[in-house]
Amino acid sequence: MIALSQSRTKEVLAIHGWSGVFLGLLLYAVILTGVIAVFAHEIGEWSAPLPHATHELPQQGLDAALRARAAEVDPAFHDELFFFSDTAGRIRTFFHTHDQKPGESTPTDRGVEFDLDPVTLAVLDRREGWADEVQAQNLPAALADFFVELHVSLHLPNPWGLLVTGILGLAMLVASVTGFLVHRHLIRELFTLRKKKDPLLVKRDAHVIAGTWNLPFAFVLAFTGSYFSFAGAFAIPAVAMVAFGGDQEKLIETVVGVSVPENKTPAGFANLDAMLADARSRTGADAGFVSISHYGRADAVVSLSMMPLEGELASDNLIYDGATGAFVRQKPFLGLQPSLGNDLFLLMTPLHFGHFAGIWSKTVWFALGFAGAYVTLSGMLLWTTRRQHQPGWARLARAAHWMGYGLPLALAAVPLARFIAPGLELDVRAAQNWTFIAAAALATAIALKVRDLDTLRCVLLAGTGVALLLAAPLRWLTGGPGWVTAFEAGLATVIAFDLALLLAGALCLLAARRAKVQPLAASDAKLIDEASPA
């Protein structure tokens, strides 16, 4: 495609390979967990189903719910609050204020959080404390949160976790750009699979095909992923430091564009349902996120983030005077006028999460993400297998097998802990974390014990298959709805997820059986040398 000299191609190929070798193991973990996190809502719905599945805010009743919950909490927590439909389908509302947590330099949110039934708006759960404590007590979202946190920050403390995943995103960006540059025959390689050749050559072709088809998607995911990581880790504080002398609140005020003179005079609060109805009539869309500042004061502000209309990626915010209910303005998400910064900002989220067209776009993102995980793993295996006669590379080949097939085993074990822990009165989030660590330790022990890499792959695949097959029956045995109940309640996600896990488990067992019959890793590495692009 792009004409590079032979020496340049070699350099670019070296960058491509080494970016994968240095960071491939962790990159694979981030991609695989990202593939799972695409279905965070569905995982929440599957692991903690309500009698009625919905991920929308109700059109009526939110005002009464707001007043009832506001009366129950310390008025100090009326400072800020929000409503949104969370990953487990509950309406989550958090009444909070910004407070100084002992031992921390920056203010943290502290308050009371409620889970409300999305249809009846009855209180399902109440949690109180600092934001991180409140989050730790949130049981329905625990399983989805585990996968999302692993993807976002590898469960490392901030900002280190975000920095690591950001750097991994940059490595993926390098691999996708160099992957494009080293393909001299891009179109031909999209369709070249030499099935009747040596199995290792077939694997190399499969890596190239999956990688080539996946290049634009890998680029988009890498770019948006590293943006999200670095923005939170240091970019926003750095720009706030330069532009506003470190005042992040001033930055947010400028960027969000809502500034109301402070007025602490107590005042009534206008009807929230009426504001939601007005917003719906103005935009034709439903609100996805409701944010209220200074509830019960004369300077109360209501900000409604509307859902994008069908066929659109972005939407607007509507601002209302909380005390009178008067419409103030319709504005872009950032700033008060349309801008390039706002457009780019709004593009990042749908491009990374793939939720712009519901389950269909999520399925495409899942498939392309899965292909990305396959490309990362197969690239690692090809790169290390071709050098496995050298001691260091042999160890890396083992590590690639351990991560490639051990990580799915550890991830598949986590839902089992989610369902067993409540019955044993264990802390669910801690049980999930320890189960993941225990399963990863087991995979490590197996990787150290089993010398033959094909047998290792076979054992880990079989373990993953068994764990996946156990998840659905365990969900049902620990009090979750059976298929008949789920069908009658319209909980299609529960049935679909059960079936998907059973199918995935069966495919893993089948793959383990095939791996035993057709060992691949011992093939002659020379064939890959001959087949390599440069």
Partner 1 sequence: MTTLVAASSNRRRAWSRGLLAGPVCFITAAAVMAGAALWYPEGAAQINNIAVPIIVFPAIWAALFFYLMLDRRLGRAWVVAVLLLLGHAALIGQHLMAAQAAKKAAAPAAASTEGAPR
Interface residues with partner 1 (CB under 8 A) are: 8, 11-12, 15, 169-170, 173-174, 177, 222-223, 226-227, 230-231, 234-236, 238-239, 241-243, 245, 251, 254-255, 257, 332, 334-342, 344-345, 348
**DSSP alpha helix (H) spans, 320-452:** 340-353, 358-385, 391-420, 428-449
Question: Shortest gap between Cβ of 339 and partner 1 (angstroms)?
Answer: 4
Amino acid at 466: V
Between residues 82 and 219, which has the closer beta carbon with respect to partner 1? 219
CA–CA distance, 31 with 168 (Å, rounded to integer): 10
What letter does residue 297 receive in the DSSP assignment?
B
Between residues 73 and 177, which has the closer beta carbon with respect to partner 1? 177
Question: Shortest gap between Cβ of 167 and partner 1 (angstroms)?
Answer: 8
Between residues 256 and 500, which has the closer beta carbon with respect to partner 1? 256
Question: Shortest gap between Cβ of 490 and partner 1 (angstroms)?
Answer: 40
First vs last Cα of the chain: how many Å apart? 14
Between residues 85 and 176, which has the closer beta carbon with respect to partner 1? 176
Q: Is the dihedral of CA 246, 251, 252, 253 positive or negative?
A: positive
Question: Shortest gap between Cβ of 239 and partner 1 (angstroms)?
Answer: 5
CA–CA distance, 36 with 33 (Å, rounded to integer): 5
Between residues 131 and 231, which has the closer beta carbon with respect to partner 1? 231
CA–CA distance, 410 with 430 (Å, rounded to integer): 15
Between residues 182 and 411, which has the closer beta carbon with respect to partner 1? 182
CA–CA distance, 270 with 266 (Å, rounded to integer): 13
CB 302 within 8 A of CB 319: yes
How many CB atoms sit inside 10 A of residue 265's CB?
Answer: 8
CA–CA distance, 423 with 413 (Å, rounded to integer): 17
Question: Shortest gap between Cβ of 457 and partner 1 (angstroms)?
Answer: 33
Pairing label, strands 287-293, 123-130:
unpaired
Between residues 239 and 450, which has the closer beta carbon with respect to partner 1? 239
- Residue-by-residue DSSP string for 297-349: BTT-EEEEEEPPPTT-S---EEEEETTT--EEEEE-SSSSS--HHHHHHHHHH
Question: Shortest gap between Cβ of 502 and partner 1 (angstroms)?
Answer: 39
